[in-house]
Amino acid sequence: MDSLDIQRYPDNYEAMSVESALLAEKITCQLRNLIYSSTSIPKQEYLVRASQMHDIGISYEDGILKLNMPRLLPKKKARHSSVFLVDPLNAALEHYGKEHPLPHFRECVVCISHIFNHELPDWCLLDYDNLQQKQILDAIALHVMADDSGLLCDAFNTTELGEQDGTEISIMEKERFPKWLYDRQERLKSISDFS
């Protein structure tokens, strides 16, 4: 992949990188199962450690639950793609809930900020419907929402460029959303002022 000319062969680079990533996910999921069956480490303990390796962060402040995660994976037919992040995310939420009170939202807004490294070419920015959001939202809803149906939960997706890839998910009561959106726009404006 390092020797491939991305500018001349973007499709080849994309195919190679996706195939490599999917293979790595499959291997990781298989290794997890091997650890569960052949060691004394409890599954939950391993998954909490896996969530830390993925830099999954959770905080709750001023009525807003914020989750920081790696960039969401593209939708592909490989079933291991969603398990790769969902299991550690579930473990992280359970672990956080034991040490901090988790909110429970009946009606809420879920804001998903897709952050892409500013050095990536534009063709690497994925459409929202090509990302595996559903499994992630289902896992979060299980812990902090009455339901993630459209009747109770509004969704807001946005893309921004940053220093590194990632996903930031903010969940709040609906009346907090206008201020969250204003603060986000001001933050992005101040970032662009210094670039």
Q: What is the 3-state secondary structure (H, E, C) of 31-63?
A: HHHHHHHHCCCCHHHHHHHHHHHCCCEEEEECC
Task: State the chain's mean pLDDT as an integer.
Answer: 81
Per-residue pLDDT at 72: 63
Buried b (16+ CB within 10 A) or exposed e, 48-78: bebbeebebebebeeebbbbbbebbbebbeb
Output phi, psi for 85, to 5 deg. -105, -30
Looking at residue 195, its pLDDT comes to 43
How far is the C-alpha of 137 from the C-alpha of 14, rounded, in Å? Answer: 26
- Taking residue 132's Cβ as centre, other Cβ atoms within 10 Å add up to 17
Measuring CA to CA, which residue among 108, 155, 151, 158 is closest to residue 134?
Answer: 155
Per-residue pLDDT tens digits of the chain, which is 195 residues long: 556 565 666 666 667 777 777 777 778 878 888 888 888 999 899 999 989 988 999 999 999 999 998 876 555 554 555 667 889 999 999 999 999 989 999 999 999 988 877 676 565 555 555 556 788 899 999 999 998 888 899 999 888 887 888 889 999 999 999 999 999 888 776 544 444
What b/e sequence results for 161-187 when a residue is b if at least 16 CB atoms lie within 10 Å of its CB, and e otherwise?
eeeeebbbbbbbeeebbeebeeebeee
pLDDT tens, position by position, 66-83: 999 887 655 555 455 566
Are 58 and 67 a contacting pair, CB within 8 Å? yes
Edge-first strand listing for the sheet containing 166-172: 57-61, 64-69, 166-172, 108-117, 153-162
The pairing of beta strand 166-172 with beta strand 64-69: antiparallel
Write down the pTM of the prediction.
0.76
